[in-house]
Amino acid sequence: MSNEQHVIMDETAIRRALTRIAHEILEKNKGIEDCVLVGIRTRGVFLAQRIAERMNEIEGTPIPWGEIDVTSYRDDRDSKEATAERVEGAKLSLEHLNIHDKKVILFDDVLYTGRTIRAAMDALMDCGRPRMIQLAVLADRGHRELPIRPDYIGKNVPTSKHEEITVALTEIDGKDEVTISQREER
């Protein structure tokens, strides 16, 4: 099977999509009052940080942002962590960010089954009581297994289950690029 990667978003496309999403968030929320951004580790964090910078440029006011580690909340990973430990882990990753009664805008790079987002929502609820949670993703590839729908989408990418979306971001991968390829069968 060919494992060729096709670029579906280059650096310019990613930059434009993030700028558009920053404007959409501001429009939907009528500014940044009571909004906080939370990126899901790993790449969601860099997306949240970039959007926070853009929103600051547009509004002239810094918007609080932070990151959350949801690994131990996933339902498809063996977790030996006790509930108290995983709550502590989530709280530690969200340190310095008050989400109580805030409009939390959650960021991830790819949305597929929705299980990561479910895990993130559970983790957030354990850390406080957001007034509202909204979801922003760079690429929505479909195939949801849970009733989760993003509020902000960089690009809708119709895929087959045999394909894979890979997001590269400069901060961690040395370049900005979204590619699609055939999934390696394991």
Ligand X SMILES: O=P(O)(O)OC[C@H]1O[C@H](OP(=O)(O)OP(=O)(O)O)[C@H](O)[C@@H]1O
Binding footprint of ligand URA on the chain (CB under 6 A): 110, 112, 141, 164-165
Give the shortest CB-83-to-ligand URA separation in angstroms.
26
Nearer to ligand X, 113 or 181 (CB): 113
Give the shortest CB-9-to-ligand X separation in angstroms.
15
Query: What are the distances in angstroms from CA 154 to CA 15, 41, 108, 161?
Result: 10, 18, 11, 20
Report the partner that residue 115 touches, choosing among ligand X, ligand URA, none (CB closer than 5 to 8 A by kind). ligand X
Minimal CA–CA distance to 44: which of 149, 131, 116? 116
Residues that bind ligand X (CB under 6 A): 40, 42-43, 108-116
Nearer to ligand URA, 26 or 148 (CB): 148
Q: How far apart are CA 22 and CA 51, in angstroms?
A: 6
Q: How far apart are CA 81 and CA 2, in angstroms?
A: 39
Nearer to ligand URA, 124 or 178 (CB): 178
Q: How far apart are CA 166 and CA 157, in angstroms?
A: 12
| The token pair that represents 41 in the structure block | 């580790």
Give the shortest CB-108-to-ligand URA separation in angstroms.
9
